[in-house]
Amino acid sequence: MEKMGVPAIPMCTIAYKELADLTAARDGMPHLREIFTPHPVGGKTSAELAAYLVDPDPVSGIQIMKEIVEDLTRPLSADEMKSGTQSIQAGPAIYGPATPDNLQELFMTNGMTDYLPIVIPTEEKVEAMLKGTSHNPDEVLRTPLQGVGYTSARWGYTVRQVAVNAVMAGCRPEYFPVVLAMASVGSLGLFGSTTSSGSAIVINGPIRDKLDMNYGLGALSPFAHSNATIGRSWTLMGKNLTNAGILGDTYQGSQGNQLDYNNCVIAEDEKNSPWAPLHVQFGYKAKENMLSLFGGPDIRQGAGARGAGAEPAMFDQQISYMCESMVGGSGALAILDPLVAKRLVEQGYDSKEKLAEFVYKNTTRTVKDFKESFLAPFHLYPLALQAREPYASWYKLPDDTVIPFFPSAKQINFVVCGGQANAFFQIANMNHVRSESIDKWM
């Protein structure tokens, strides 16, 4: 609004002062006249919030309403009228020479690791990693842009910069096309909202076997070098390439998310799945190597089938039951052992689409429950204001109307992996973000 010539006062609680200052500076107005209230605002009564307004701003000490009037009428200072380009020195291009131990300490102390030992990214190792792709090391995957993104500063990166992080994660050069496909998604690891979301990465195509990815026993646990290091690189790329993960600044996750350590890499067991692989469902050819990114709050155990001892076991109903406790607005990714997939086919689900349709129709709640659910007031209601469906229609319905839990069956996805030791599944409360070609980065 200030850029449009309209004096504007941004208000936030004192808990976010540092983030507010940094965002204003990155947006090009370091002297923006911010006003802060005590924290929190949520959960306070009308009387308490009225009192906030006549109490002092915890930063300036000036009564808040008086400060608002002053900030909207006080003439601009010389600093506030400045325009032009601000030059800030870039950080070092290299570190050292130093011993490997000292470099480990340096990288960790400077927030460039996940606090596990890294592979030191020497020039030699980076050059070796770059041989894993035919792309030019100086090719730009993302252009740095001011005023874009979660904290108003979209960092950019090249193929070479991605290679450095891939080395640090312990990736081998043959994994590099997968890492580049991940980097080409744009938004990388360590999503910074207070909700502490995590990521899952599904890999499809022949590359799974080429890289010895594990999609059998212990598929989601640390039993394959490729699964482990590819997942780790997502977090390191987030920290280093996009400046994510700076506590109190680009990372506000109140509790964090354990998925951030390795980001749940899932190679689909295409051979033992009775259905089409995930990437084929998304419209790609079976022989294409694809990566699909999912993001959302968590992954949880599916806890078997509904109706213990029932014949046939009601896995469809159990999946629907597990979805009822999810965060609405995020989708579902069910990760099924091949035994569960086979049982579902016995139940009549000869395609993932049929199963998704069942879960969509049978997972429901009232409009009242929807309105009162987490995310609805501040994420889904604003979408309704933009006339986005189905939210716009749902908000017009009576409170006791029963509506689907998910806005669409397309938000419900399935992937098959596991060692067939038992008929178990896990389910991620996650949306499909994007799919990217790995072949493009060979």
Restricting to residues 28-87, which ones interact with another protein according to CB under 8 A?
Answer: 28-33, 37, 39-44, 46, 49-50, 52-54, 65, 68-69, 72-76, 80-86
The smaller minimum CB distance to another protein, of residues 178 and 299, is found at 178
Q: Are 240 and 187 in contact (CB under 8 A)?
A: no
Q: Which stretch binds another protein (CB under 8 A): 158-166, 218-226, 296-304, 331-339?
A: 158-166
Three-state secondary structure call for residue 314? strand
Q: Which two tokens stand for residue 108?
A: 């960790």
* Binds another protein (CB under 8 A): choice among 153, 267, 293, 344: 153
The smaller minimum CB distance to another protein, of residues 255 and 308, is found at 255
Q: Is 371 in the site for another protein (CB under 8 A)?
A: no
The smaller minimum CB distance to another protein, of residues 271 and 388, is found at 388
Q: Are 11 and 34 in contact (CB under 8 A)?
A: yes
Query: Who's near 435: CB < 8 A, 6+ residues apart?
Result: 279, 282, 284, 290, 291, 292, 293
Query: Who's near 79: CB < 8 A, 6+ residues apart?
Result: 30, 31
Q: Which stretch binds another protein (CB under 8 A): 152-160, 295-303, 308-316, 393-401?
A: 152-160
Q: What is the chain's Cα-based Rg?
A: 25
Q: Is 131 in the site for another protein (CB under 8 A)?
A: no
* x/- map, 227-256, another protein, by CB under 8 A: ---------x---xxxx--x--x-------
Q: Are 103 and 120 in contact (CB under 8 A)?
A: yes
H or E segment and range at residue 367: helix 367-372
The smaller minimum CB distance to another protein, of residues 242 and 330, is found at 242
Query: Who's near 292: CB < 8 A, 6+ residues apart?
Result: 201, 202, 204, 278, 279, 282, 432, 434, 435, 436
Q: Which stretch binds another protein (CB under 8 A): 115-123, 204-212, 273-281, 339-347?
A: 115-123
* Binds another protein (CB under 8 A): choice among 38, 112, 178, 294: 112
What residues pair up with 300 in beta bridges, in sequence order?
Answer: 427
Q: Is 382 in the site for another protein (CB under 8 A)?
A: yes
Which positions from 277 through 306 interact with another protein, judged by CB under 8 A?
none
Which positions from 88 through 107 interact with another protein, judged by CB under 8 A?
88-103, 105-107
The smaller minimum CB distance to another protein, of residues 150 and 321, is found at 150
H or E segment and range at residue 365: strand 364-366
Order the strands of the 332-336 sheet from edge to edge: 265-267, 198-204, 290-301, 425-437, 332-336, 412-416
Three-state secondary structure call for residue 301? strand
Least distance CB 433 / another protein (angstroms): 15
Q: Is 367 in the site for another protein (CB under 8 A)?
A: no
Q: Is 116 in the site for another protein (CB under 8 A)?
A: no
Least distance CB 125 / another protein (angstroms): 9
Scored b (16 or more CB within 10 A) or e, 180-215 reads bbbbbbebbbbbbeebbbbbbbbbbbebbeebebbb
* Binds another protein (CB under 8 A): choice among 145, 310, 402, 421: 145
Least distance CB 172 / another protein (angstroms): 17
Query: Who's near 117: CB < 8 A, 6+ residues apart?
Result: 104
Distance CA 33, CA 71 (A): 6
Read off the amino acid at residue 281: Q
* Binds another protein (CB under 8 A): choice among 168, 182, 332, 428: 168
Query: Who's near 44: CB < 8 A, 6+ residues apart?
Result: 52
Least distance CB 244 / another protein (angstroms): 10
The CB density around residue 255, as the number of other CB atoms within 10 Å, is 8
Residues binding another protein: number (CB under 8 A): 115
Q: Is 389 in the site for another protein (CB under 8 A)?
A: no
Which positions from 189 through 218 interact with another protein, judged by CB under 8 A?
194
The smaller minimum CB distance to another protein, of residues 10 and 419, is found at 10
Least distance CB 169 / another protein (angstroms): 10
The smaller minimum CB distance to another protein, of residues 150 and 261, is found at 150
Q: Is 115 in the site for another protein (CB under 8 A)?
A: no
The smaller minimum CB distance to another protein, of residues 4 and 308, is found at 4
* Binds another protein (CB under 8 A): choice among 114, 130, 133, 154: 154
